[in-house]
Structure 1
Amino acid sequence: MSDTSSSGPNRRSVLRAAAALGGASLVSACGGLKGTGASSSDVLKIGYVSPQTGPLAGFATADTFVVKRIQEAVRDGFTAGGRKRRIEIVVKDTQSNPNRATEVTRQLINSDKVDLIVGSSTPDTTNPVADQCEANGIPNVTTIAPWEAWWNGRGGKDKGFTYTTLFFFGMREFADCFFPMWRRMDVSSKNVAALWPNDTDANAFRQGLGPMMKQAGYTPVDGGAYQGGATDFTAQIATFKESEAELFTCTPIPPDFQTFWKQARQQGFRPKLATVAKVMLFPSEAEALGPLAADIATDFWWTPAHPYKSTLDGGSAKQLADDFAADTGKQWTQALGSVYSLFEIAIQAFKEAGDPKDRDEVASKLRGMKISCMSGNLDFTTGPHPGIAIQHPVGGQWRKGETFPWDVVIVDNSGNKDVPIGGDLRPTNA
């Protein structure tokens, strides 16, 4: 279901948000404001933007659950600016399209009159959402996008940002996650096959991780900056085979990786270890590949094994994952923790502001925030640039599961010793 109007509060968006709250109306779900005589200033409206449909929809699997969970956690309201406040959440779908992300963010600002906007995932969402917020003076926090793609892709190298913030990680953290696994793999070649398309995400890897690979003694073998949505990867596979690369990394959209990986097997490219980014982050992708998913490694910034807790109800990462499974019948995804923390951070900024309706003050609280939450210890003051909080992922591999078809085993915690090791690192293709 998608929003199609930009002229006012859209019936479809209201219905979607209501559905996300278990069928209740937005107001009644906010804690019973109806009939209380409360003014609109008692309600703080948060807009949430994510790719709920389209090729990036896997990132939004947990959205409905998280929105409901947040509403439950603050159903009795909280004190901000010396008064009791309630939360209203307005949900928008980008349809995995950056132009659509721009459009729905404008709807949130101009029609829904939100006080703050949060968004996830990938630069196709985070960048256009943040650009609109910056241009319109709306406090904003986003996640699940490499900070270089978010910062440099928006011209941050020339200027800073006043209203927009991000928590995630960047090329240094990818290197800290992937390189230790490469070093542990017995390979005869230091060539690394790299499937990097021509988009903001992949170009950040090409320009950032590529030089780091060289500094570490590896040679990136770039398959070429192809356009997303490709159906034939024969040329890239031939390049990789000719290089005799035994290590592989990539940053495509999920459908492209599915196509590439199947064709690679058919054409005889079987790297000893695959460490992939942007893909294989969620169980649905492992299920789509079936046996070909075995022992593909990727970065994990949130799992039930992470020792982090909610600032809203004190629940642990494991409890959140278990509750998600019990409520939906689906397996946890790491976006679950990230999306949850978007709302933790937003609510904390409201609480810290003398006037939570003062956009400049709330934005300042976001930029200066230090918080220990479901996504770990986040400090927006010490990142590579102001307003960026860095997470530290660990390396995990997909293995046959017990409760669900596939599960994640943490095999390297070089980047974050807080997370326990769950098993040995195995070759992707022995």
Structure 2
Amino acid sequence: MDPSLPRRALLKGVGLGALAAGTSACGSSGEKSRADDNKIVIGYVSPQSGPLGSFASGDAFVVDRVRRTPPYARGFRVGGKTYQIEIVVKDTLSDPRQATRAARELISHHHADMILTSSAPETTNPVATVCEEQGIPCVATVVPWEAWYFSRQADPKKPKPFTYTTMFFLGVDQFGGCFVPMWERVSTNKVVAGMFPDDPDGNAFREAWPPIIEKAGYTWVDGGSYNEGADFEAMISKFERDSCEIFINAPLPPDFNRMWKQAAKRGFRPRLATVAKVLLFPSDTLPLGDLVNNIATDSWWGPYMPNRSSLDGETAKRFAEAYQSASGKQWLQTLGSVYSLFEIAHQAFTTVDTPRDRKAVAARLRTLNYSGMSGVLDFSRGPVPGVAIQQPVGVQWKKGAGRFPYEMMVVDNSLNPAVPIGADLAPTNP
């Protein structure tokens, strides 16, 4: 297989709008009934437009790349029979209601055998809820597991394992294990400001962070729950009054951009900002310019990871380089996550007797343990059934040395020592 996707492929319409029409490796329309017993249909749902669009900006490349791998191009061998693979892509528009509609359409119209979904609870949770109700195997990623698991429970205080829905990513413990070691290396008064909205991510973080902060010997200051589009003057004033020198959050990118600009204008400049859900991707740095310098965040995938595809052996470094060559854009973390969704689908379907046995496929998902583009993923040993945990590294956005204005550099590998350090940790604001 050609290690790099031709740049003209993206320029000539290998976009998710075209992919959503239901093209497949075998060229079928995606609208045949389940009487077509020689095909496995895999649905993929992500926010390719709207406020969360940066999460999915590399999805077109990944889906096309997956289609070119030998297992997807030639078909899956299951129970002595070869099944051609069709991938149908849906855009949520960053709207949970559209995510629900997309999942239902994949099931009723495209007869999906499995649905994959990525990028924040606004996307993954409604998709997983539909799949659980309809008995369709589902795998999600790029959503904190607590936000995915507990907010979908009838009673979050008495959670019950799901049967058909699984996921892999980080949890608050991993954020703590990633962020606290960076805090410890910067001289501060140990007062931590938290910016968390009234949404599944924000509520999960607000619940889980205080014990981690207090155990580490820090003081917690909650900026208060807020809704999308809020003004942040009162929150910033609170952080200033309490002399917060460390900052954490989990907002939508537009809200953080507005808050961070307001903070800079007012003179609120915490010594170290460690952010989640924002500044995860190069496009997120553009609205803030130099205000992103030395902001720290988590990295669960990148070219510095010693990972390799289970589909064709391609390394994480080569995969990131291929994306940059094809798109002219900087690599982004979700490339590896979305790729691994399709690795997992391959692993599950090819280790059961028949892809039509949804319960067997779902049961296999809950016990998978393999190594691929996202490293080792063990669904049998998660914090709750059906959840696999990744170990991130701490990174900071620093001035780029090449063609990109800012680069994500590894500054702490406390949770993942196999990843080399690439730069010194520096205060966000001296």
Scaled by the length of structure 1, the TM-score of the pair is 0.92
Matched with 1:124 is 122
Q: Residue 287 in 1 paired to residue 286 in 2? A: yes
TM-fit CA distance, 1:218: 1.0
The alignment covers a number of residue pairs equal to: 408
Helix, strand or coil: the match of 2:202?
helix
Helix, strand or coil: the match of 2:98?
helix
Residue 106 of structure 2 aligns with an amino acid whose one-letter code is L
Helix, strand or coil: the match of 1:26?
coil
Mapped to 1, the partners of 2:85 and 2:308 lie a distance apart of 21
CA contact (8 A) 2:28 2:86 kept: no
Q: Aligned match of 1:109 in 107, 110, 126?
A: 107
Matched with 2:8 is none
TM-fit CA distance, 1:33: 11
Q: Residue 221 in 1 paired to residue 216 in 2? A: no
Deviations 1:133-188 (A, max 9, x none): 0000000000011111111111164311000001001111110000000011111x
Q: Residue 192 in 1 paired to residue 192 in 2? A: yes
Residue 220 of structure 1 aligns with an amino acid whose one-letter code is W
* Residues 90/256 of structure 1: CA separation in 2 closer, same or farther (3 Å cut): same
TM-fit CA distance, 1:81: 2.1
Q: Aligned match of 1:66 in 45, 62, 76?
A: 62
Mapped to 2, the partners of 1:67 and 1:353 lie a distance apart of 24
CA contact (8 A) 2:19 2:88 kept: no
Residue 56 of structure 1 aligns with an amino acid whose one-letter code is L
Matched with 2:396 is 397
Mapped to 1, the partners of 2:85 and 2:329 lie a distance apart of 27
What percent of counterpart residues are identical? 53
For structure 1, list consecutive stretches of 5 or more residues without a partner in the other structure. 1-14
Alignment RMSD (CA, Å): 1.9
Helix, strand or coil: the match of 1:167?
strand
Residue 134 of structure 1 aligns with an amino acid whose one-letter code is E
Helix, strand or coil: the match of 1:118?
strand
Matched with 1:384 is 383
Q: Residue 26 in 1 paired to residue 23 in 2? A: yes
CA contact (8 A) 1:56 1:253 kept: yes
4+ residue runs of structure 1 moved beyond 4 angstroms? Answer: 15-18, 31-34
Residues 92-241 of structure 1 mapped to structure 2, 5 A cutoff: 92-155=90-153, 157-187=158-188, 189-230=189-230, 232-241=231-240
Q: Aligned match of 1:42 in 28, 38, 41?
A: 38
Helix, strand or coil: the match of 2:90?
strand
Helix, strand or coil: the match of 2:37?
helix
TM-fit CA distance, 1:58: 0.4
CA contact (8 A) 1:251 1:278 kept: yes
Deviations 1:267-311 (A, max 9, x none): 010001000000000001112211111000000000100000101
Scaled by the length of structure 2, the TM-score of the pair is 0.92
TM-fit CA distance, 1:17: 5.6
CA contact (8 A) 2:26 2:84 kept: yes
Matched with 1:10 is none
Residue 234 of structure 1 aligns with an amino acid whose one-letter code is E
Residue 150 of structure 1 aligns with an amino acid whose one-letter code is W
Helix, strand or coil: the match of 1:271?
coil
Residue 26 of structure 1 aligns with an amino acid whose one-letter code is T
Residues 234-313 of structure 1 mapped to structure 2, 5 A cutoff: 234-313=233-312
TM-fit CA distance, 1:31: 6.8
Deviations 1:362-402 (A, max 9, x none): 11110110010100100000001110000011100001111
Residue 321 of structure 2 aligns with an amino acid whose one-letter code is D
Mapped to 2, the partners of 1:78 and 1:174 lie a distance apart of 36
